[in-house]
């Protein structure tokens, strides 16, 4: 069995799961007023959320960046850089390079702002500078692709299941059951509309994080990954 698979496949999967989630929400909670434009924007964000990954994926924005900084080989603009910001930069470059007119797809400028916010997981600019502007009345939409609130989003659901399948690791959570039972209700503390699950799904939700733990133990922190350190040493050798 080969563990090789691509971020393109993953990104298509994220877009698909996002559409499934929002379609069932619109069916069961029509008062949320989820529109076709909302769904399209979230799908585009799912497709583009990983554009900014550099060579060798997290090696690039992890130990590689760290080693450059420690050796004084980095640039000021690289400090604090994240692959989410890289994805935003790539998306902006694509729009300019290929002269993409979003109005041809039924979108407006505010929708582009929304997509950028979805990718970042926070308002564009400094976190404390302003609030979300793309869909301020639908805060739950910001939890679909990059959920900064709970960490449970379709991005993780896809790569947990995908990584488990390709590596032969055990995955205990039921993705489609989670998608079909997710609802939106006001947060008990803040009153903000947020993603949630019925109490009977508590075990399934916990299984998501159990799957994450198992993958870290069996795959993500496997001793073979020490080869990454050798690779970085070669790349940044003085």
Catalytic residues, by residue number, are 83
Q: Residue 126 contacts by C-beta under 8 Å, 6 or more apart in sequence?
A: none
Place of tokens 């790569």: 159
86 CA to centre of own chain: 13
* Degrees to nearest 5, angle at CA 152 with 148 and 158: 120
Is 169 within 8 Å of 216 (Cβ atoms)? no
10 Å Cβ neighbour count for 81?
Answer: 17
């Amino acid at each position: 069995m080969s563990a090789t698979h691509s971020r393109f496949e993953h990104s298509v999967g994220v877009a698909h799961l996002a559409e499934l989630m929002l379609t069932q929400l619109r069916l069961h909670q029509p008062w949320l007023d989820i529109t076709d434009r909302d769904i399209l924007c979230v799908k585009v964000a799912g497709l583009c959320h990983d554009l900014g990954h550099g060579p060798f994926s997290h090696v690039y924005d992890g130990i590689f960046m760290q080693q450059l900084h420690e050796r004084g080989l980095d640039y000021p603009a690289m400090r604090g850089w994240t692959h989410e910001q890289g994805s935003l930069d790539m998306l902006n470059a694509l729009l300019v390079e290929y002269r993409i007119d979003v109005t041809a797809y039924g979108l407006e400028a505010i929708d582009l702002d929304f997509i950028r916010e979805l990718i970042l997981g926070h308002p564009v600019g400094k976190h404390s500078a302003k609030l979300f502007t793309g869909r301020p009345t639908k805060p739950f939409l910001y939890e679909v692709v990059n959920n900064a609130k709970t960490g449970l989003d379709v991005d993780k659901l896809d790569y947990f299941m995908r990584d488990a399948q390709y590596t032969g690791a055990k995955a205990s959570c039921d993705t489609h059951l989670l998608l079909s039972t997710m609802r939106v209700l006001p947060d008990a503390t803040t009153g903000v509309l947020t993603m949630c699950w019925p109490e009977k799904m508590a075990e399934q939700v916990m299984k998501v994080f159990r799957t994450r733990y198992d993958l870290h133990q069996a795959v993500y922190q496997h001793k073979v990954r020490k080869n990454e350190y050798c690779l970085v040493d070669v790349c940044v050798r003085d």
